[in-house]
Amino acid sequence: MNKAIPYIKFNSLLFLLISLSLLGCRGMKSEKTPIHPNLNMDQQDRKEAQEINNFFDDKRSMRMPVAGTVARGLSRLDKNYYEGVEISGDWVAKIPIDLTKSIIYRGKDRYEIYCTPCHGNAGDGQGIIMTGRYGYVPAPTFHQDRLREAPDGEIYSAIYNGVRSMPSYRHQVPVEDRWAIVAYIRALQASQNAKRDDLIAAGVDVEKLENEFEAEQKMIAEARAKKEANQVEIIATVERGMEISTMYACQTCHSSDGTAIIGPSWKNLYGSEGVVTTEDGEIINVIKEDEYLIESIVNPYAKIVDGYDPLMANAYGALSQNDLQSLVEYIKSLSDN
């Protein structure tokens, strides 16, 4: 009996040691610094990003580069590649990198992350912002002659510098991805502007697609007519006009105080006379009343106001008659006469 005691003691001690060592391996984290016999340069005084540093007057630990210096690899002297412009200041005509299939797929990937919320998957400007809930300026479709003919550098610049009411994406999208996106936009443009014969040659059942498209358009038109029939005579109001104008951020481009922003001001617009260029290139005089104003909203490219570029997106065609008339009422309310 007496003899057995040390034996049991030894056994349980061994058991305790094994279980402790196993417990120590269960991925538990410790707050304590690991034992590190040879320090080398692994531990040293340094500052975290954004940490206060009392050594400098401005108390920043993140220092600005010394004036006039450029970090290695950041010289970016190649304006073609980094800014999309030639030394002469003209846009770069063609993407300055060798294109491969994988670059275009990279462009698709990046495009679908950064650009689709506004420009839509097909580049038609029908991104999620077009639900009207976000109060954002509609993005233009890429499938218009002006942007099909624009030099590659100009498309690049939209990403690098932003353009008018579109912010720059240069910090989200590094330079090689910007060119990849430009390449993908070109692919989108080609895809949406393919000739009927080319499609048939590629084995696409064009007639079937056309029938489907027509059926879809018919359904949309019917649904709209039904909706409008059910709208028991809501009267167009200035308030509703203001609401629509805010929902679609018209004010980003149209002021109500007489200043021209991207588009003409709405102040004293109603009833005024002005020069416009029609789609056929004819220069005519118009009186800006209901019919003209509604046409300008539904089909902005029909008549371009003298002195302005065709920068208003063709994106408001789905507004109801009542909403359009309300916009007119609102614009009318900004006229003194």
Tell the smallest beta-carbon distance from residue 236 to ligand HEC (Å): 13
Asked if 237 contacts 227 with a C-beta cutoff of 8 angstroms, the reply is no
Give the integer Cα–Cα distance in Å for 303 and 284: 9
Instruction: List interacting residues with ligand HEC (CB under 6 A).
Output: 114-115, 117-119, 136-137, 139-140, 147, 154-155, 158-159, 163-166, 169, 173, 181, 245, 248-250, 252-254, 262-264, 269, 274, 288, 293, 296-297, 300, 304-305, 308-312, 316, 327
- CA of 306: how far to CAs of 146, 246, 333, in Å? 17, 26, 23
Tell the smallest beta-carbon distance from residue 185 to ligand HEC (Å): 6
Tell the smallest beta-carbon distance from residue 45 to ligand HEC (Å): 42
CA 143 from chain centre, in angstroms, equals 16
Tell the smallest beta-carbon distance from residue 213 to ligand HEC (Å): 26
Nearer to ligand HEC, 92 or 137 (CB): 137
Give the integer Cα–Cα distance in Å for 147 and 145: 6
Give the integer Cα–Cα distance in Å for 151 and 158: 12
Q: Which residues of 114-127 are buried (b: 16+ CB within 10 A; e: fewer)?
A: bbbebbbeebbbbb
Nearer to ligand HEC, 60 or 267 (CB): 267
Nearer to ligand HEC, 60 or 274 (CB): 274
Tokens matching residue 139: 């993005």
SS3 state at 139: coil
Place of tokens 């410790």: 30
CA 111 from chain centre, in angstroms, equals 9
Nearer to ligand HEC, 61 or 99 (CB): 99
DSSP 291-337: HHHHHHHH-TTSEEETT--S-S-S--TTS-HHHHHHHHHHHHHT---
Tell the smallest beta-carbon distance from residue 55 to ligand HEC (Å): 41
Tell the smallest beta-carbon distance from residue 79 to ligand HEC (Å): 19
Give the integer Cα–Cα distance in Å for 23 and 77: 58
Nearer to ligand HEC, 60 or 301 (CB): 301
Segment (H or E) for 260: none
Tell the smallest beta-carbon distance from residue 149 to ligand HEC (Å): 11
Nearer to ligand HEC, 24 or 317 (CB): 317
Nearer to ligand HEC, 61 or 192 (CB): 192
Going by the DSSP 8-state scheme, the letter that residue 100 receives in this structure is -
Nearer to ligand HEC, 37 or 281 (CB): 281
Tell the smallest beta-carbon distance from residue 242 to ligand HEC (Å): 11
- CA of 195: how far to CAs of 51, 94, 191, 198, 204, in Å? 60, 23, 9, 5, 12
